[in-house]
Structures are given as structure tokens and as C-alpha cells.
Chain A
Amino acid sequence: AQSVTQLDSQVPVFEEAPVELRCNYSSSVSVYLFWYVQYPNQGLQLLLKYLSGSTLVESINGFEAEFNKSQTSFHLRKPSVHISDTAEYFCAVSRRAGNMLTFGGGTRLMVKP
């Protein structure tokens, strides 16, 4: 079985500051890794994913995440956040043999002006 730990439940940050949201996972098999974003009162949207290949993956709105196998981490970063980035961010893993997603507890990113 796999599990996901998001170390920070809330991350307050000022606009235009950099941010890192931490995610660690445990699994006995290879996994796929994901970050989903949930804006207030909305469903989840896929932000970015790591399936294979380059360990650094990017989203269209400036976020990036790096898969670190030795540290079993997949931290999410953005060099300069906007107010509109305020949302709940979920890290998730899926076994290569199946599609079931296991989610972390979520991190609330609060961007202040």
C-alpha cells in the first residue's frame, strides 16, 4: 500500500514571494505522482504529473515539481505566487498497475497582498 504525507497543512505567503509545498510518499512499488489544485468551492484539477522521464515537471501557470526518488519526495514550487494561486493543493500517488489515487491531506496555500 502507498501513503502520501503533506507536511504543511497551511502555508501563508505574500504575493510575489516564492513558495514550496512539500510532499513525501511511501510505496513498495513504482508510482506515478501528481499535484491537484482545488479552488474554493470547486472540484479538483490536475496541476502537473510525473509519469516517467525528466524528474522536473512544469505546469502552464508557473508551478513546477521535482521527483526525488532517493528522498521519496515530489515537492511543488513556484518562484513568484499570485493572489489567484490561493487554493488547496493535493499531492497524490498512483501505482503503475492501477489507477487508484491515494491523496495526501492537502496544503492550503494562502497568498496575501
Chain B
Amino acid sequence: DTAVSQTPKYLVTQMGNDKSIKCEQNLGHDTMYWYKQDSKKFLKIMFSYNNKELIINETVPNRFSPKSPDKAHLNLHINSLELGDSAVYFCASSQDRAGVYNEQFFGPGTRLTVL
């Protein structure tokens, strides 16, 4: 069974469009994350949610809006897509954030290409 899944795997779209990437985890974890990996493979955290509550919001344009309908899902909606948004977006999850580290499990990634 897939632990952390993302859809779609590839997303090609035009500048100015609005798109969403979905993430689901079946591990029963409390915390979910979105990371962005740019063309140079540099990975940076964007958001973190714990039990549907936003706990980390790094410096990300407000065109990016995470939505967590329940603790198993964390979707990423992007408005007015720009060329610089082209990247691979990874979803991840972990058990909780109670001050004790718990391993993060990553999804397979969504490659977004903005034309």
C-alpha cells in the first residue's frame, strides 16, 4: 500500500492558470508538509500542518494556499502560476511534533512545468 501519495505525478500548464496538487497519507500521521525542489535539486519547506492547523509557513507567495480537509490530506492550490513555480513538489508526513523527532515519509513528487 502506498504510504504517501500525490496526484498528479506530472502537471504541465500555462502561465496565469490556477492548479491544485493533492496529497494523501494512509499512515495515520498527524503532521503533513509541502516541500519545493527547484531545478538545481535544492529542497525547501513551504508549509507544515498539524491536525489540520497550519504550523509552519515559510516565505511563500500568497498565490500558494494549502488546504487540509482532514489530517490525512494536504492539498496545495496555486493561483496565477508563474514560470518560476516550475519545480518538483513533494508532500511528506510524520507522526507528530511533540518535541520528539519522528521520521518524515515523502511522496513520489509532482513535477510542475509552467509554460
Indicate whether A and B interact: yes
A-to-B contact residues, CB < 8 Å = 32, 36, 42-46, 49, 51, 88, 90, 94, 96-103, 105-106, 108
Q: Which residues of B sit under 8 angstroms from A108, Cβ to Cβ?
A: 41
Q: Which of B28-54 contact A (CB under 8 A)?
A: 31, 33, 35, 40-45, 48
Q: Are B41 and A88 in contact (CB under 8 A)?
A: yes
Chain B positions near chain A (C-beta within 8 angstroms) = 4, 31, 33, 35, 40-45, 48, 56, 90, 92, 94, 97, 99, 101-109
The 6 closest A-B pairs by CB, nearest first: A103-B43, A43-B106, A44-B106, A106-B41, A43-B108, A32-B101
Instruction: Give the complex CA separation of A32 and B43 in angstroms.
Output: 17
Q: Name A42's closest neighbour in chain B (CB-CB).
A: B108
Interface of A is mostly: strand
Given known A-B contacts A32-B101, A44-B106, A99 and B48 have beta carbons under 8 A apart: yes
- Nearest A residue to B50 by beta-carbon distance? A99
Whether A45 pairs with B48 at a CB distance below 8 angstroms is no
CA distance A99 to B33 in the complex (A): 10
Residues of B within 8 A of A102 (CB): 45
Closest-CB distance, B9 to chain A (whole angstroms): 9
> Which of chain A's residues have a CB closer than 8 A to the CB of B102?
99
Most buried by A among B4, B101, B105, B108: B101
